[in-house]
Chain A
């Protein structure tokens, strides 16, 4: 055990980092990639500075922790990209906002009914007679709020 720890050299760190990156491919989304990056960084520093193994391990932990804010920024960038290609995936009601429909049942007591895509949706809003065109102004979960045009 101590032999392994004392033998931690620059090359082993580099190998370890590459292996971690490879594992990330096999089990994606488990953050191994960033650990791999941290290990590579430690390896490069070990090549240049040759610090003691304790320092190497601590550096590895430090880099791994530092990877989190970096990774979050990247993740957010990824989010933006996803929203650009298909912003309403699994967010069906948000896609309905702004569309106009005809009330099938009058809104009485704040609840009415419209037919959208061959199913009926309960809609909420001010009392309106049936047959009136309404616009969906807000969606909160499965709750659609409408306003008469």
Chain B
């Protein structure tokens, strides 16, 4: 094959091939998101960051290609016994990121497995210290506690756990059913209480209303009575005043004035009797006759009122004073 080539020819060919292979071995392009560790004769020396890197072939070789992006691991399902002896099935997720590729490569063997196991055991310890109700309602607290413990535990490995989230917490079926019944009972109880409360309130309100109505009625009656009494008082007062004024007037004036009034009314009454169509016979009591005598008082009033001068003037005009005669009763 190469029988017609000299030694120099072959050496030059091999040398060029070796150069090219060496170049290929020494040039390392690390993609973004990864850090590669370099081992010189099996001992870690440095970390290659993303981009083009040169290593010395024959001495150096790439050890681990460590992913430095944030990664998510599924935490597999496991059964956890809570403080009140309920067995629940729990799974979750953990997010972690490698910050120190060398530590993550060489401080721990099988990093993901280590994180998973660590998280699982801590889920057990955290949930084992809580009641079932707490476990179901305090997920944030569980996540927080897990994160603190696990993050502190993994820090020697040059990684950071950013989040641990409990995904599903599944209590056994009979427990779920019991919880359902409990909730239903709770709601029914609340409904009953609310109804009773409503009834109580409405009864109270009705009674209050009735009471108010009665009070108002009584007040109305009281007010009316007061007003009635007042009216009676007022009329009595007026009567008294009137009587007083009359008696005063009588006191000041003459009995004859009274007689005049009475006679006046009397005559008017007679006039009315005379006009009435059905009865023309009038029985007069004896005293009525004497009442008529009071008519004589009229003249005297006239005298008192118009004075003597008027009376004399009249007398002068007519020559005589007309005699005051009792008016005969109408027949």
Interface residues of A (CB under 8 A from B): 1-2, 5, 28-31, 34-35, 54, 57-58, 60-61, 64-65, 67-68, 71-72, 75, 78-79, 82, 89-90, 92-93, 113, 118-122, 141-143
Contact = CB atoms under 8 A, between A and B. Distances in A.
B97 A122 contact: no
Contacts of A118: 163
A79 B30 CA distance: 12
Given A29-B52, A90-B68, A61 B163 contact: no
A105 B195 CA distance: 50
B5 A30 contact: no
A120 B2 CA distance: 69
Contacts of A58: 12, 15-16
Contact of A142 (B26, B33, B158): B158
A90 B159 CA distance: 13
13 contacts: A5-B13, A31-B24, A57-B13, A61-B16, A61-B19, A64-B19, A68-B27, A78-B51, A119-B163, A120-B148, A141-B103, A142-B155, A143-B155
Closest 4 CB pairs of A and B: A29-B29, A141-B100, A142-B99, A75-B52
Contacts of B32: 89-90
A21 to B, nearest CB: 15
A120 B151 contact: yes
B29 A121 contact: no
B162 interface: yes
Interface residues of B, number: 40
Contacts, number: 87
Q: State the majority secondary structure of interface residues on A.
A: helix
Contacts of A5: 5, 9, 13
A141 B155 CA distance: 10
Contact of B2 (A2, A31, A142): A2
Q: Which of B4, B16, B51, B152 has the largest count of A CB atoms less than 10 A from its CB?
A: B16
B210 interface: no
Contacts of A71: 27, 52
B52 A142 contact: no
Contacts of A65: 19, 23
Interface of B: 1-2, 4-5, 8-9, 12-13, 15-16, 19-20, 23-24, 26-27, 29, 32-33, 50-52, 54, 68-69, 97, 99-100, 103, 144, 147-148, 151-152, 155, 158-160, 162-163
Nearest to A72: B54
A30 B24 contact: yes
Contacts of B148: 113, 120
B20 A64 contact: yes
Contact of A57 (B12, B27, B29): B12
A115 to B, nearest CB: 10
B24 A61 contact: no
Contacts of A122: 151-152, 155
A43 to B, nearest CB: 15
A92 B155 CA distance: 16
A144 to B, nearest CB: 10
Nearest to B27: A31
Contacts of B15: 58, 61
B19 A141 contact: no
B244 to A, nearest CB: 95
B4 A2 contact: yes
A90 B33 contact: yes
A82 B50 CA distance: 10
B48 to A, nearest CB: 12
B18 to A, nearest CB: 8
Given A54-B12, A78-B52, A82-B51, 9 more contacts: A1-B2, A2-B2, A58-B15, A68-B27, A71-B27, A90-B69, A119-B163, A120-B148, A122-B152
Contacts of B12: 54, 57-58
Nearest to A31: B27
B4 to A, nearest CB: 5
